[in-house]
Each structure stands twice: as C-alpha cells, then as structure tokens.
Structure 1
Amino acid sequence: MATRDHALSRFRTLANMRTPRPLRAFGLMVVFGLIAATFFMIYVPWVQTAYGAGQVIALNPQDRLQNVTALVPGRIEKWYVQDGQVVKEGDPIALIADNDPMLLQRLRAERSLAEAKVAAAASALSTARLDVGRTGTLFREGLASQRESELARIKVAEMEAVLAEARAAITQIDINLARQSLQTVRAPRDGVIQRISGGDKATMVSQGDVLASFAPTQTRRVVEIYVDGRDVPLIRRGQPVRLEFEGWPAIQFSGWPSVARGLFDGEVQQVDLAASTNGLFRVLVQEAKGKTRWPGEPYVRLGANARGWVAMEEVSVGFELWRQLNDFPLQNPALIEENQNGGTARKEKR
C-alpha cells in the first residue's frame, strides 16, 4: 500500500482524477433500474392470452349473405330493385317470363280439356258399373254367359284406369301452372339487395341461376377467430375474450386488460372439434352480458376483420417473458387447480 501511495505521488494528474458525477449517476440509475426491473418481473401480474384472428359473421345461417336464384327457366322480363335497395319480405325482385308468351293460356286450355276428359271418364265408369250389375243379374237367371259378366268387369277396370289417367293429367297441369306462378322472384325476408347480376329481356336464365345477392338485416352477430392448436385445449366455453375490430381505434395491452382502450368484451360460445382447412381451430365469440355492446352498423359490418385475445391464467411478467423466450405453451388451468388441491390435501393430512 505504501508503494502504491508513493507511486501515485509521482503521478499527480492520476492522483487527482475522480469518477465523473454523470457516470456515477448513470451507474446508480443502472443499479436501481435492475432492482426495479427484478421486482417488476417478479411481482407485477400478467394475464396470459391465446391470440386469434377472424371476422364478424351471423350466427344464424339464414342471416348470412344469400343468393337469390331463378325458380323457373326463362328470360328476365323486368327488374323491380337496384343495388343497395332495402326490401321487405315478399317484395318483388325480378320477373322471369317464359320463352312462350302464350304458355299460361295454353296450360289453362289443357286443364279445361283434361277436366272434360275426367267428366267423360267418370260418366263412362258409372255406366260400366251399371252394366256389371245388369249382367250379373242376367247371369244368375241364366240369360247371360259368364264371359259377358267378365267382360263387363273388365270394362269397369278400364274406365277406372282412364279416369285415374285423366286426373293425373290435371295434377301435372296444376304443377306446371304453379311453377309458372313462381316467375316473380320475391325477397325471402327483410334485407338489402347487395348486388344484382344483371340481365334484360335478351338474357336467358336457367332454374337455379343466381340473379342477385341478398343481405338480411337484424342479424345476431358473432366473431369467429382461428386459434393455434396448441392453445385450443386450454380454451373453455364462457372464457372472457377481448376483441379489436378493424377500423375501430384501439390501444391494446393483452396482459393488462384494464389498461387497453377501444377493445370490447366477449365470451367463448363454441370451440370446433376439428381443425379448419387452414390448420387452425375456429372459436366462436359472442357478446358478453352486462358489458359494453359491440359497435353496430355501419361501423362494424358482417365480414369485417377482427382480432381476439382469449384470457387465460394470471402469471408474473418475468414468468411470461421466460415462457415466450422458450416458446413454451400457456399455463394449463387444470394442472394448476390439481396442484392447489393436492397441496391443500397434504396440509390437511398433517
């Protein structure tokens, strides 16, 4: 030590050097920052979440976008609507005319002729039944042969077949008339005509061809999100979900739901048993009861993109950081509950 002091006395500049105050302050800040970060990662809670992205859909299949199709073949005679028009249930959308403009008149004439045939067949059948009775009486009295009696019965059977055929013809004509009455395509329910396929009198359509797309109103909306298969076993029905809708301003902190702004609450309604074609599992999310309602139209429409975070277990920030760096799965609530129950049981035994 004496040698060191003697050496320093020979280097006066070195002896007068001291650690700069800014450097000492920076060192203290680093030390206190490390201590604060340690306490922060140990004691500050973080809510684990399972992330998924999807879109807004209608829960009832009848409330989803539908195609209005032609019920009979023909040509488009007239349009009653245009794109974006609001319609009520039963309002006409388009009129389809048959290629033969006189078809309805001809069908009605055929029906009148068929009715006349039915009447004639019914009269002939009544006469044939009378002949059977008379021939039977004569046969019992020995005035007619058995052959004549059998021919009379055969005549009755033939008349019954003719009458049945005439009635079947009337039924077929009625079916054709009913089909022609479907030439006016009507709105299946209240909604909006989203897009018309187009066409005029020169456009031929077949049965089942799409004429327009129709979007019903007053739908019950849900959000479908697709979640990774590693997180799906941990998702249960009724779990809370935080949702962010496309176009709606939001600030998200998935681990601190109380800090996030612009997000809406939901709850898990259903988890699909099988994976979708994209390899992910679909989770349906409905509005949470007693919470802020989701934005309505026109702010959030059917088909709008959405992102969701399913709330899982609460852990420390340090644990969550360690889990994500190692790419470990989320905490299993069943295992946590089992460990807690096991610890309680051991204490009771003691």
Structure 2
Amino acid sequence: MLNISRNALNKEVDLSKFKSAKLVFNKDYYKLWRRFLAGFTIVGFIALFLPWTQNISGRGKVTTLTPDQRPQTIQSPIPGSIQQWFVREGDEVKKGDTIMKIAEIKSEYFDPNLVQRTQNQRDAKAFAVESYAGKVKAQDVRISALSSERRLKLEQAQNKIYQSQLKVQADSIDLEAAKTNLRIAQTKYDRAESLFKDGFTALKRVEDARVKLQETEAKRISQEAKLLASKNVVLNAKIEVSKLKAEYADKISKAQSEKFSAQSNQFDSEAQVQKLDSDVSNYSIRNGLLYITAPYDGFINTALRGGIGQTFKEGEELVGIIPTNVDLAVETFVEPIDLPLIHKGEKVRVQFDGWPAIVFSGWPNVSYGTYGAEVVAVERFISPNGKFRVLLKPDSEDHPWPKDIRAGSGAFTMALLDDVPIWFELWRQLNGFPPNYYQPIENTDAKKK
C-alpha cells in the first residue's frame, strides 16, 4: 500500500474489494479547494468592477484657521528684569490679565517721577512759548505805531516842504517886483539926470532919484537874499524828509529784527514742547509696558524665562500662551505631481492621531473614525520638505470634529477625487500613473457661462 517495495502490490492484488481501499482511493481531496478557488475567482472578478474612489493621501498636523488663534510667545518691547510672576504654567487667563511685572534696567528710566518731571518741563516750555508769542504781538504793535508815526512825520515834513516852496514862489515874485522897481528907479534917475544936464530940472530931484535908485537896489538884493534863504529852507525840508525816512526805517528794522528773534525763539520752544509731549507720551506708555498682560483668553503654556531678577533684552520671548477658543484646521502636504488635482472647496477625509479609525481609502463611506474637511487654501510656493502645503477646515455638512483634539497633533488626510473601477485603479498603481486629472464641476460650468 505504501509502495515501498519494488513489487507493486496493487497490480497483483485487487484492493477495490476492501472497504478501506474504497474510502482511500476513490475520495476527491481537492473538491472544496477547487470550489473555494472558483468562488474567490468569481468574487474577485466581480470586485474588479466595483467603484473605487481615487484619493491623494498626506500627513499633516492640526493647526488653526486664522494666524491670530495659533500658539504664540509673548515678548517684551523693552529690556528689563523679572520682578514678580502672577501666573503658573497651565493657568487660564483672560484678555488683559497681568502675567508678570518687570522693572527697568536702564538708568535714564529709574526715576519714578520721570513722567511728572517731564510734564513740568513741558509746561515751562509752553509758558515760554506764550511769552515769546506775547513779545511778537508787542513788536507788531510797536511796528504799527512806528509806521503810523513815520507817516505823520512824513506828512508834516511834506507840508513843510510845500510851505517852503510856496515861500520860494512868493520871494521869487517879490524879487521880480524888486527888479521891476529897480528898472523904474533907474529910468527915473536917467531921466532926471538928462533933464538936469539940459537944465530943465533941479539938482535935488536928481539926487532924490539917485537915493531912490539906491534904495530900490538894496531892496532887490535883500529880496534875492530872502529867495535864496527860502530855497535853502526847501532843501532843509527835503533833507529832513530823508532823515525821517532813514530814522524810522532803522527803528522799524530793529523792531522787526526783535520780532523775528522772538518768533524764532517761539518756534524753537514749540518744537521743544512737542518733543517733551512725545517724551511724556513715550514714558507713560513705557510705564504701562512694565506689566506683561495676556493678549487674549488662553492658557499659559511654557514660562520661557523663570526666576526673579533675571534680565532680558527687548524682543526676547518670555512666556508661551495658547488661545482658548480656536477654529481648528489641518495643514497637510501633497506631492508636486498631485498639486493640479487639489482645488479649493474639495472634500477631504481626515484621521486624527489618537482617535481609533478603520479606514478604507477607496470607500470613504464605509470608513470609521474619519472626519470631513474642505480645502481652504493651497500654497503657491513649495515648502522646505519638497511638498506643497494645503490648509483644510471642518466640513459643515459632515459631523463635527472631536472637541478634545489639540493644535499640533498629527493627522492623516485623504483628498477624494474621481470614482473609477477597481481594475482601473490597480492598473494605474501598477504603472505608476497619477490619478485622473479633472476640473471641479462648478469651475467647468462657470467657464461655459
């Protein structure tokens, strides 16, 4: 039976009449296996035509939708030293709560009354500004008075010139009259002398005519002297006008110079007042910076600077804070070859680390533990890891994300693409082809319109 011997026993002895031989030699051992293979082949062939959702998978982490909700560190804009802590790590704080108190380390800010002293300096300079402004007004009044006085003096001098000119005219007329009288006296004298020579008149009349001629000559000379004196008065009056103009021009120039000096001092004092105002404002704001406060409601994460009396520079990180209320999102990264398949508004399935899930990437509807998301933004420049960053937000049409997830935890994402048969997906995977390129229906309809 075992065919150990070279003599085949089954050829010499008929074993079919034995019951055990019937059970051994006539039994079909591979009947169930062949049935299993046939059923598996049929089921596998049918499964090749089942729909399969193409997807782009990626790894990412949980973040926030807006930058102002992400964890951050609090810095001090001024250098200082830590004086007192008001919170501990893990404490919840409200917006404006004091986290720590710091002290100045620069000697120019040690004075506790620095703001008040600077305010007093500002008030003193403001009073100086008012004083200079009053001096400018006084000089304006002085200039106005000098101008009025100059105008009156010049009018008076002009009147004097006019009077002198009239006197010159009168003296000129008198001189012409004296000349006429002189000619008449000369004529009378000549006639009397001629008559005397002819014997028609007495010598007395000739002598009287000579005396009259001499008197008339004297009057003419006197009148000519008066005319010259009148002309001299006119010249003196004109010189007086010029003198008045020069005198008042000098006085007004001096007043204007003093006015401009006062204005210059006023403007300089105003500039100093403005600088002191700026200093007062800066010192007041700086005093407010001695208390580090929470920028929003959140939790104290990490104290980056510990102890009391430790110094730090401006801009150094002091403490980390995490906001309380955030709009969670997921940032994931995709390969450059898959970037054309990602569009804003696409649906994505997300699996969070720490949450149990059963994932069928090709059948998202039967997956368990995944959550819906929607593409919000696609980065236009490649990241340092050689991939493109995609930002996802919760899908409002799907069930909400777990409330206990925290920013920074890991996430596995699947961007859902086209529906294809399984045989096509296997063929694509074997050949290393990318998923089907397509455009969203909304974009296609918009282009057609």
Cα distance in 1 for partners of 2:278, 2:66 equals: 37
User: Residue 79 of structure 2 aligns with which residue?
Assistant: 73
For these two proteins, the number of residue pairs brought into alignment is 324
How has the CA–CA distance of structure 1 residues 198 and 273 changed in structure 2, closer, same or farther, with 3 Å as cutoff?
closer
Query: Would the aligned equivalents of 2:114 and 2:283 in 1 still touch at CA under 8 Å?
Result: no
Aligned partner letter, 2:133: L
Q: Secondary structure in 1 aligned to 2:377?
A: strand
Are 1:274 and 2:381 counterparts? yes
Aligned to 1:162: 268
**Cα deviation digits, residues 80-125 of structure 1 (max 9, x gap):** 1111110001101111111358423134223213312321331133
Partner SS for 2:269:
helix
Higher helix content, 1 or 2 = 2
Q: CA deviation at 1:257?
A: 1.6
Structure 2 spans left out of the alignment, 5+ residues: 1-9, 17-23, 151-246, 442-449
Report deviation, 1:45.
1.7
SS in 2 for 1:333: coil
Query: Structure 2: how far apart are the matches of 1:79 and 1:261?
Result: 47
Contact 2:87 2:100 in 1 (8 A): yes
CA distance in 2, matches of 1:207, 1:335: 50
Structure of greater Rg: 2
Structure-2 separation of matches of 1:309 and 1:50: 5
TM-score by length of 2: 0.67
User: SS at the partner of 1:62?
Assistant: helix
> Deviation per CA, 1:12-33, whole angstroms, max 9, x where unpaired?
7899796751223323332332
Describe the superposition over 1:135-157 as per-residue Cα deviations: whole angstroms up to 9, x where unpaired. Answer: 34224424642431332222232
- What is the CA distance between 1:219 and its match in structure 2? 0.6
Residue pair 1:69, 1:209 contacting (<8 A) in 2 also: yes
Within the candidate set 286, 296, 313, 2:418 is matched to 313
Residue in structure 1 matched with residue 123 of structure 2 by the alignment: 115
1:67 touches 1:212 (CA, 8 Å); kept in 2?
Answer: yes
Q: Are 2:142 and 1:134 aligned?
A: yes
In 1: Cα distance, 2:433 partner to 2:104 partner = 67
8 A contact 1:129–1:156 mirrored in 2: no
Secondary structure at the aligned position of 1:332 is classed as coil
Q: Which whole-Å CA distance do the structure 1 matches of 2:439 and 2:131 have between them?
A: 83
Equivalent AA in structure 1 for residue 135 of structure 2? T
Aligned match of 2:36: 29
**Are 1:327 and 2:440 an aligned pair?**
no
- Quick check: 1:64 aligned with 2:64? no
Per residue, is there more strand in 1 or in 2?
A: 1
Residue number in structure 2 paired with 1:48: 54
Query: 1:70-219, aligned counterparts within 5 Å?
Result: 70-99=76-105, 100=107, 102-142=110-150, 144=248, 145=250, 146-174=252-280, 175-219=282-326
Indicate the percent of aligned positions where both proteins have the same amino acid. 29
Q: Given residue 76 of structure 2, which amino acid in structure 1 is its aligned partner?
A: A
Aligned residue number for residue 292 of structure 1 = 399
The amino acid that maps onto 2:141 is G
Q: Secondary structure at the match of 1:121?
A: helix
Q: Which amino acid aligns with 2:60?
A: G
Please give the TM-score of this superposition, normalised by the length of structure 1. 0.84
- CA deviation digits over 1:156-202, x for unaligned, max 9? 32232232133124213212232222211111111111111223442
Cα root mean square deviation, aligned: 2.6
User: What secondary structure, in the 3-state scheme, does the structure 2 residue paired with 1:110 have?
Assistant: helix
Secondary structure at the counterpart of residue 72 of structure 1: coil
Q: Assess if the C-alpha contact under 8 Å between 2:132 and 2:263 holds in 1.
A: no
Give the structure 1 partner of residue 202 of structure 2.
none
